Structure 1
Amino acid sequence: MMVLGFTSREARLALRTCNGDLDSATRHAFQKRDEKESIVKEEQSKSKLRRKEKKLGLCLNGDKVNIELHKKMVKDLGFDKVVAAAALRQSDNDIDKAIQYIHDDIGKLGLSKLKRLSTSLLLQMNGTGLDCTTAEAAINHFNLDVDKAIQYLMDNHTTVPQDWIDALKSKREDLNTDDKEALHSLAKEVKKSEDDYLDVTLDEEMEYVQEYLALVNSLTNS
């Protein structure tokens, strides 16, 4: 089986499950590998969705921010991710009200001054092809002076030097604590397998059974 590319552990598990039948064990090993790959992909997808939902937060009414509406505001309408999420939270996922907040009452969204000013800059330069990161980098470089940022962007075809972008990125955390915890949790889940118990010696298996029975007895007698 190892000649076919299976690890010694995969081969051992399959042979033990199939009572030493090589053909059955090989089919079983291929099946388990496919199942594990499917589980990994599913867990990664679920974990990504959970992290996204947690990052977007909850609306005033307690509902989760609608991911599809958020994507529409960012991808189709060009709003900053943080700004779009804040607006959807404030408007309880009403996209029209969310856009109105951004245009007319952005102060209610609890954003940083840098986000507020870069959004103002984007609205003033709507239609020029300016993107959120470039706008924020310009505002950051000119110490929150919107007029200077606009003038520079108009003179330079809405582009900024790469070091301005790098300076902006350096202010952000590479990976926050919540993301690290989520990834760590995913890694532990992927490592688990319903047939992991097969990869132990008979003595270890008997020890686990005895510990389990002892626990059951203690609970029954308590």
Structure 2
Amino acid sequence: MIKVLIADDQALVRGGFRVLVDSEPDMTVVGEASDGGTAAEIAHATSPDVVLMDVQMPGVDGIEGIRLIAADPSLADTRILILTTFDEDDYVVAGLQAGASGFLLKNTDPAQLLHGIRVVAGGEELLSPGITRRLIARSARPGGSVNHDVFAQLTAREREVVALVARGLSNEEITRELVISPATTKTHISRALAKLGARDRAQLVALAYRHGLVQAGE
């Protein structure tokens, strides 16, 4: 059973998501919150698998709520999906860098929303990796130089894999690109995550752009 926490300041939106999620046999809503602070408190008490987090909320906003959840050791396995609209690019970038695992558009199709929850709950790829890459690229390292100190502990192959992840390639595409096995691809990604202290692929992408391993437009 996938446990879902819904954080949005609009009761009507929360209610709509609750009905949708609770209608699925493998999902259940464990709580609702109208701001980021309350979301973090409820998450600590309920240990949800996925948090649907709005960003623009009064009081403690969604970005700070993401930071609070990401900083809670007891919630290391909780994944956060930002609920956003097309005109909130800055919030999406900040949210991903704060620890979110991806994002969903508020007007997404219900079936896609449910699929997205399942994908993230299973620890799979970022949602909409191409769009996420475009957003994070806006925070690329000035001047295009690589901060070699950040990536010094990675092997050459791990650097290569991280760069491909940042360019939006899925595990399957990386496997084909490098002519390696799927298990080897997963191992390289897992080791890169551990060495760089990244929570998930979203933070891996953010690090790659922020420290120049990949340049915007590549």
- Relative to the length of structure 2, the TM-score reads 0.24
Q: Which has the higher contact order (CA 8 A, sep 6+)?
A: 2
Q: Rg larger in 1 or in 2?
A: 1
Identify, as 1 or 2, the structure richer in strand.
Answer: 2
